[in-house]
């Protein structure tokens, strides 16, 4: 079954005075999808979300909702709802009244409204709090009510602007799972904005990485992590080692690479046009030490060690280059390597990504 297109953003640019916040952004979001806009602060995520909600107008381009152009409609004429970063609950209304607000404006009958409010309170486990006011709630509870209020009118698309950033760490993790479950249960298309890569990887069906007002890459979490298309994505998502390399020859999507380490190997590549200098990305956890070293193996010296619990991070120097290596502390006791020790290290050809030139 081909899923419908919930949101289509086409060639959207946004200028604030002479500052270009977004530059020719295009993507489509499928129905029922959990779609994440990920990028560093200031890259234009909120601006993009606000244009879908109707609080800002694109300087150029068009935005459609289920095939209907909406870029010029005011917010109250768009069937999308927003979970605001500050929650923006109405302080003078009880939680019930907050949730009913949208339904009243849509002209729902009283009985239907009350049933829906009760259903929403149930959904976010807040039924006992119906008569309270927002200032009598904790951050996590406010978050839930903001969600309930935005979901109540059965929006075609739900927009969430960094909804978890105001919560403490533990709550954030729990809310991630809850949000994801809620999205599955309601089947509503979610557009989720975050600058937190873990959140994005954990929750999304697809991620759109934004940087400097432009789309850097769109793909599933594993696409984005395993096959970053450019240096920006490889750098922003997860940790990585960048190595300067030279593409000797190209064969289909395989590139013959020569690195500064003096190694030659073939690697899958994306965005390499032809022979010449290139940057390659090698994730720290893809490099094996000692008995785990396989593929291209060489020796190096441990320069630093950071014990992180589940992992130990090493900096290993080899041929004048320092590589970050992440080693999982396995079930059985994993040996820890002291600073200054010589170790074998290695990586497989397929672990290397050659980034666009």
Partner 1 sequence: MRRGFRFWGLVPAWVLMLGTLLIPLMIVAIVSVAQRGAYGGFEWAFTLEPYRQILFSVGWTDELEFDPKYLFVIGRTLVLAGATTLICMMLALPVAYVIATRTPRMKTVLIYLVTLPFWVSMIVRVYAWLIILGNDGFVGRIWHALGGQGTLLFTPGAMLVGMVYSYIPLMVLPVFAAIEKLDPALLEAGGDLYASRWTTARRVILPLTWPGLAAGSILVFVPALGTVLEPMLLGGGKQMMMGTLIQTQFGSARNWPFGAAIALVLMVMVVIVLVLNARRAMRKEARS
Ligand X SMILES: Nc1ncnc2c1ncn2[C@@H]1O[C@H](COP(=O)(O)OP(=O)(O)O)[C@@H](O)[C@H]1O
CB neighbour burial string for 225-251, b if at least 16 within 10 angstroms, e if fewer: bbbbbbebbbebbbebbebebbbeeee
Tell me the closest approach of the beta carbon of residue 46 to Mg ion, in angstroms.
3
Nearer to partner 1, 83 or 287 (CB): 83
User: How many other CB atoms are found less than 10 A from the CB of residue 6?
Assistant: 23
Tell me the closest approach of the beta carbon of residue 7 to partner 1, in angstroms.
16
Q: Are 39 and 235 in contact (CB under 8 A)?
A: no
Choose among partner 1, ligand X, Mg ion, none what residue 91 binds, the Cβ cut-off being 5 to 8 Å by kind.
partner 1
Tell me: does residue 47 bind ligand X (CB under 6 A).
Answer: yes
The two three-digit tokens of residue 150, written as one number: 């935005």
Tell me: does residue 81 bind partner 1 (CB under 8 A).
Answer: yes
Tell me: does residue 46 bind Mg ion (CB under 5 A).
Answer: yes
Choose among Mg ion, ligand X, partner 1, none what residue 92 binds, the Cβ cut-off being 5 to 8 Å by kind.
partner 1
Choose among Mg ion, ligand X, partner 1, none what residue 72 binds, the Cβ cut-off being 5 to 8 Å by kind.
none
Q: Are 108 and 147 in contact (CB under 8 A)?
A: no
Nearer to Mg ion, 46 or 217 (CB): 46
The two three-digit tokens of residue 335, written as one number: 């040996």
Q: Are 266 and 255 in contact (CB under 8 A)?
A: yes
Looking at 139-240, which runs of residues are DSSP E strands? 157-161, 189-194, 206-211, 214-219
Tell me the closest approach of the beta carbon of residue 141 to partner 1, in angstroms.
17
Nearer to partner 1, 93 or 315 (CB): 93
Tell me: does residue 84 bind partner 1 (CB under 8 A).
Answer: yes
Q: Taking CB positions, which residue lies at the least distance from ligand X?
A: 46
Applying CB under 6 A, which of residues 18, 41, 251, 332 lies at the interface with ligand X? 41
Tokens 């004429």 belong to 77
Which stretch, 37-45, 218-226, 229-237, 258-266, contacts ligand X (CB under 6 A)? 37-45
Mode of pairing for the β-strands spanning 214-219 and 60-65: unpaired
- Measured between alpha carbons, how far apart are the two ends of the chain, in Å? 38
Tokens 């760490």 belong to 169
The two three-digit tokens of residue 185, written as one number: 């249960």
Tell me the closest approach of the beta carbon of residue 46 to ligand X, in angstroms.
3
Which stretch, 43-51, 119-127, 196-204, 310-318, contacts Mg ion (CB under 5 A)? 43-51
Tell me: does residue 63 bind partner 1 (CB under 8 A).
Answer: no
Q: Which of residues 291-330 bind partner 1 (CB under 8 A)?
A: none
Which stretch, 41-49, 147-155, 245-253, 261-269, contacts ligand X (CB under 6 A)? 41-49
Tell me the closest approach of the beta carbon of residue 145 to partner 1, in angstroms.
12
Applying CB under 8 A, which of residues 91, 252, 262, 340 lies at the interface with partner 1? 91
CA atoms within 13 A on the CB side of 88: 11
Contacts of 21 (CB under 8 A, 6+ apart): 14, 15, 44, 47, 213
Applying CB under 8 A, which of residues 26, 72, 105, 138 lies at the interface with partner 1? 105
Which stretch, 7-15, 89-97, 215-223, 270-278, contacts partner 1 (CB under 8 A)? 89-97
CB neighbour burial string for 164-180, b if at least 16 within 10 angstroms, e if fewer: beebeeebbeebbebbb
For 347, the 3-state DSSP assignment is strand
Closest CA to 244 of 227, 234, 258: 258
Choose among partner 1, ligand X, Mg ion, none what residue 115 binds, the Cβ cut-off being 5 to 8 Å by kind.
none
Write the DSSP string, 18-49. Answer: TEEEEEEEEEEEETT-EEEEE--TTSSHHHHH
Nearer to ligand X, 57 or 112 (CB): 57
- State the Cα–Cα distance between residues 193 and 212, nearest whole angstrom: 15
Nearer to partner 1, 7 or 282 (CB): 7
| Number of chain positions touching ligand X (CB under 6 A) | 11
Q: Which of residues 119-158 bind partner 1 (CB under 8 A)?
A: 133, 135, 149-150, 153
Q: Are 266 and 258 in contact (CB under 8 A)?
A: no
Task: List interacting residues with ligand X (CB under 6 A).
Answer: 16, 19, 21, 39, 41-47
């Amino acid at each position: 079954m081909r899923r419908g297109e919930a949101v289509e953003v086409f060639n959207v640019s946004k200028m604030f005075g002479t500052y270009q916040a977004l530059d020719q952004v295009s993507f489509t979001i499928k129905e029922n999808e959990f779609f994440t806009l990920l990028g560093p602060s200031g890259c234009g995520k909120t601006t993009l979300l606000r244009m879908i909600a109707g609080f800002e107008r694109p300087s150029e381009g068009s935005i459609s909702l289920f095939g209907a152009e909406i870029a010029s409609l005011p917010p109250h004429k768009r069937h999308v709802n927003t979970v605001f970063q500050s929650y923006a609950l109405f302080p003078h209304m009880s939680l019930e009244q907050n949730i009913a607000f949208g339904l009243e404006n849509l002209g729902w009958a009283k009985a239907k409204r009350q049933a829906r409010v009760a259903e929403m309170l149930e959904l976010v486990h807040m039924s006992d709090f119906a008569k309270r006011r927002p200032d009598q709630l904790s951050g996590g509870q406010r978050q839930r009510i903001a969600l309930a209020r935005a979901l109540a009118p059965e929006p075609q698309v739900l927009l969430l602007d960094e909804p978890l950033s105001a919560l403490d760490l533990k709550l954030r993790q729990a809310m991630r799972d809850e949000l994801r479950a809620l999205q599955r249960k309601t089947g509503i298309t979610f557009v989720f904005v975050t600058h937190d890569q873990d959140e994005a990887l954990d929750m999304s069906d697809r991620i759109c990485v934004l940087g400097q007002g432009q789309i850097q890459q769109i793909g599933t979490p594993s696409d984005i992590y395993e096959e970053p298309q450019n240096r920006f994505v490889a750098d922003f998502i997860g940790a990585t080692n960048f190595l300067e390399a030279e593409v000797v020859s190209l064969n289909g999507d395989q590139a013959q690479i020569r690195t500064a380490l003096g190694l030659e190997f073939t690697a899958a590549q994306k965005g390499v046009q032809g022979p010449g200098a290139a940057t390659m990305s090698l994730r720290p956890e893809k490099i094996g030490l000692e008995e785990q070293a396989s593929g291209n193996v060489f020796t190096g010296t441990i320069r630093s060690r950071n014990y992180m619990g589940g992992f130990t991070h090493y900096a290993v120097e080899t041929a004048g280059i320092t590589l970050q290596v992440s080693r999982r502390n396995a079930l059985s006791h994993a040996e820890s390597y002291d600073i200054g020790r010589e170790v074998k290290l290695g990586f497989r050809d397929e672990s290397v990504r050659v980034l666009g030139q």
